[in-house]
């Protein structure tokens, strides 16, 4: 990532979503998108000029005499706009919001739109920018969720500037592949373009930013549909066979994995490997499996507003002489749970007095006063509660817990101690009396569950797998009979012991034997997606 020549701090750069593209990536995308000296090219978010400079050089390769007004850039930040202009003499640079422009403002459509849209998460993407970007997306028939990050609206609006045979070449976060909010963008791309190629990297493209990125190459060059191609790094881009060998568009499938259809889950994660995509599509379409949401509700844990104050160790609660009536057994972090069942030694305490008066009143009042002095009562969540110290809880205790984020395959953990959990750990509540919680937890050791988690969850740059509640409810489970349930219950203590001692793979194999699942095939498929998520080859799911 080039170092921007600016006085901005790293936090300021991150706030406006400026992750600078490696020049080799920009050059590759410009060579793919710009096919002729007569092309007209748009860069909707110039940044420091890496893309517009690459486009300028591409035009230089195709013709003499400069860009002749055929290269157009847009950049909201004036300093960055000036830098972009210096990278491409003769280019037209608009120092405005991209969402204030339409094709009419640029004198008509363009042949190619290229670039690296700003990546600002939904909580930072607000105000006029969000409202205008949402309106522009709606003009294209795309209704974006309020959870959408900035890049989503850039993709849709940039497409509106393209001629019918125009090409889109963008660097995007890998959220395109798997997030719920990106489903509207995925569907839009497959409607608009006959060919949608995703290039996924085995390593991180932006290591300093910990943003997992992919390349989007969308066109009507052919009608092969969705294809996902994996490369080791940006240096391997020219080995993909994607670049046209002549000015005219090259037709036909590129070298790599070709599918020509959307994922059965409407996600593109599995298409990192076409073999995995076909395997998972077969599992989903077989009708032999159910979703976790068919048998259970997955809900977020409590949001205290200050775990440092509200969540205490047993020792801390004892030192303050807080009465048991003001404390609830609590699971705070996934790392505290080592097996398949919550142990008393793994618990912390949630400070939540239902009433101040009663046994231990003086200790409760003293701790509340400490909270006020520490400013806890004025924090965002507490100050909107009445009283400020009453942390909202789910209506009933969960039957099991599921980590919100994990580095390897997530697992369920039984809640036999009546604990509550923080929002780092989801609560899983069974919707049927037919299933025993121990059997359901054992199912989460299966290779099927591990593969499903990789497909249905979302990956982040540091290799972490994140499961929102709705994503967790989509995880696949076998529909077990009574005999299999009895076997899993009988095995539960042994499975718990294996997991606690670091032998989860052995436990997983034992479960798949009961379920009559092909453990080796399922875990090998999960390993492929894990290797992509963690950005290295040879990774193996920790089962």
The whole-model pTM stands at 0.67
d(CA 70, CA 92): 8
Confidence (pLDDT) at 248:
39
E strands within 360-433? 400-403, 405-406, 413-414, 420-421, 425-430
Confidence (pLDDT) at 257:
40
Confidence (pLDDT) at 443:
97
Confidence (pLDDT) at 474:
92
Lowest-pLDDT choice from 196-205, 495-504, 520-529: 196-205
Evaluate if residue 260 carries a pLDDT over 80. Answer: no
330 Cβ contact list (under 8 Å, min separation 6): 311, 347, 348, 349, 350, 419, 420, 421, 422
Average pLDDT over residues 395-423: 94
Cα 487 to chain centroid distance, Å, stands at 36
**346 Ramachandran zone, left/alpha/beta (phi>0; psi -120 to 50):** alpha
Average pLDDT over residues 260-270: 55
Confidence (pLDDT) at 207:
53
Question: Which helix or strand (DSSP H or E) is residue 319 part of?
Answer: helix 314-319
d(CA 49, CA 80): 8
Confidence of residue 3 (pLDDT cuts 50, 70, 90): very low
**Each residue's pLDDT tens digit, 323-379:** 999 999 999 999 999 999 999 999 999 999 999 999 999 999 999 999 999 999 999
Average pLDDT over residues 178-192: 91
**Each residue's pLDDT tens digit, 26-70:** 999 999 999 998 999 999 998 878 999 999 999 988 876 678 779
Torsion of CA 340, 341, 346, 352, to 10 degrees: 130
Confidence (pLDDT) at 261:
41
Confidence (pLDDT) at 266:
64
**Each residue's pLDDT tens digit, 89-107:** 999 999 999 999 999 999 9
Max mean pLDDT among 120-124, 134-138, 174-178, 265-269 falls in 134-138
d(CA 286, CA 115): 41
Q: Which residue has the tokens 């080859």?
A: 537
Buried b (16+ CB within 10 A) or exposed e, 188-216: bbbebbebbbbbbbbebbbeebebbbbbb
Confidence (pLDDT) at 58:
92
- Radius of gyration over every alpha carbon of the chain, rounded to an integer in angstroms: 26
Evaluate if residue 259 carries a pLDDT over 70. Answer: no
Evaluate if residue 175 carries a pLDDT over 70. Answer: yes
Calculate the average pLDDT of the chain. 86
Confidence (pLDDT) at 65:
62
**Each residue's pLDDT tens digit, 197-231:** 999 887 666 555 456 789 999 999 988 889 888 88
**Each residue's pLDDT tens digit, 433-478:** 999 999 999 999 999 999 999 998 887 656 788 898 999 999 999 8
d(CA 450, CA 283): 13
Confidence of residue 232 (pLDDT cuts 50, 70, 90): confident
Please choose, from the candidates 185, 186, 42, the residue with its C-alpha nearest in 3D space to the C-alpha of residue 115.
42
Confidence (pLDDT) at 253:
37
Confidence (pLDDT) at 535:
61
Confidence (pLDDT) at 122:
59
Determine what percent of the chain is predicted with pLDDT higher than 70. Answer: 87
Confidence (pLDDT) at 464:
83
Which residues partner with 196 through β-bridges? 218, 226
**Each residue's pLDDT tens digit, 130-158:** 889 999 999 999 999 888 888 999 999 99
Confidence (pLDDT) at 243:
86
């Amino acid at each position: 990532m080039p170092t921007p020549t600016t006085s901005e701090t790293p936090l300021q750069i991150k706030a406006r979503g400026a992750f600078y593209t490696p020049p080799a990536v920009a050059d590759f995308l410009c060579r793919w998108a710009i096919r002729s000296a007569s092309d007209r090219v748009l860069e909707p978010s110039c940044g420091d000029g890496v893309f517009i400079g690459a486009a300028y050089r591409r035009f230089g390769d195709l013709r003499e005499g400069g860009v002749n007004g055929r290269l157009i850039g847009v950049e909201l930040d004036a300093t960055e706009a000036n830098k972009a202009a210096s990278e491409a003499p003769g280019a037209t640079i608009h120092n405005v919001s991209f969402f204030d422009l339409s094709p009419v403002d640029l004198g008509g459509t363009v042949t190619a739109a290229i670039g690296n849209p700003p990546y600002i998460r939904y909580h930072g993407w607000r105000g006029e920018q969000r409202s205008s970007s949402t309106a522009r997306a709606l003009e294209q028939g795309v209704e974006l969720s309020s959870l959408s990050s900035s890049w989503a609206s850039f993709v849709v609006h940039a497409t509106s500037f393209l001629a019918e045979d125009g090409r889109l070449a963008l660097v995007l976060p890998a959220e395109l592949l798997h997030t719920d909010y990106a489903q509207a963008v995925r569907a839009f791309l497959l409607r608009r373009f006959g060919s949608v190629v995703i290039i996924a990297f085995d390593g991180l493209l932006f290591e300093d930013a910990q943003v997992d990125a992919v390349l989007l190459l969308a066109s009507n060059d052919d009608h092969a549909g969705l294809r996902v191609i994996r490369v080791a790094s940006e240096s391997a881009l020219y080995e993909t066979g994607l670049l046209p060998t002549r000015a005219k568009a090259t037709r036909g499938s590129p070298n790599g994995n070709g599918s020509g259809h959307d994922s059965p889950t409407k996600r593109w994660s599995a298409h990192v490997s076409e073999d995995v995509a076909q395997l998972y599509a077969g599992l989903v379409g077989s009708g032999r499996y159910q979703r976790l949401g068919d048998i259970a509700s997955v809900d977020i844990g409590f949001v205290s507003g200050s775990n440092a104050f509200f969540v205490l160790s047993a020792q801390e609660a004892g030192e303050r002489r807080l009465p048991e009536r003001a404390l609830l057994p609590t699971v705070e972090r996934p790392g505290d749970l080592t097996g398949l069942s919550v142990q008393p030694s793994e618990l912390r305490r949630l400070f939540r007095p239902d009433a101040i008066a009663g046994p231990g009143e003086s200790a409760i009042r003293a701790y509340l006063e400490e909270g006020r002095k520490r400013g806890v009562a004025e924090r965002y969540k507490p100050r909107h509660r009445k009283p400020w110290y009453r942390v909202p809880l789910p209506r009933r205790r969960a039957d099991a817990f599921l980590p919100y984020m994990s580095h390897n395959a997530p697992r369920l953990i039984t809640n036999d101690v009546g604990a509550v959990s923080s929002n780092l750990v989801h609560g899983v509540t069974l919707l049927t009396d037919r299933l025993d919680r121990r059997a359901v937890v054992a199912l989460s050791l299966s290779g099927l569950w591990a593969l499903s988690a990789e497909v249905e969850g979302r990956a982040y740059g540091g290799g972490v797998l994140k499961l929102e509640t709705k994503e967790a409810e989509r995880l696949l489970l076998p529909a077990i009979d009574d005999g299999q349930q009895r076997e899993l219950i009988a095995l539960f203590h042994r499975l718990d012991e294996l997991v606690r001692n670091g032998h989860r793979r052995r436990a997983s194999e034992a479960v798949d034997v009961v379920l009559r699942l092909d453990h080796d095939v399922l875990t090998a498929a999960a390993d492929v997606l894990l290797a992509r998520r963690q950005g290295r080859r040879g990774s193996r799911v920790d089962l």
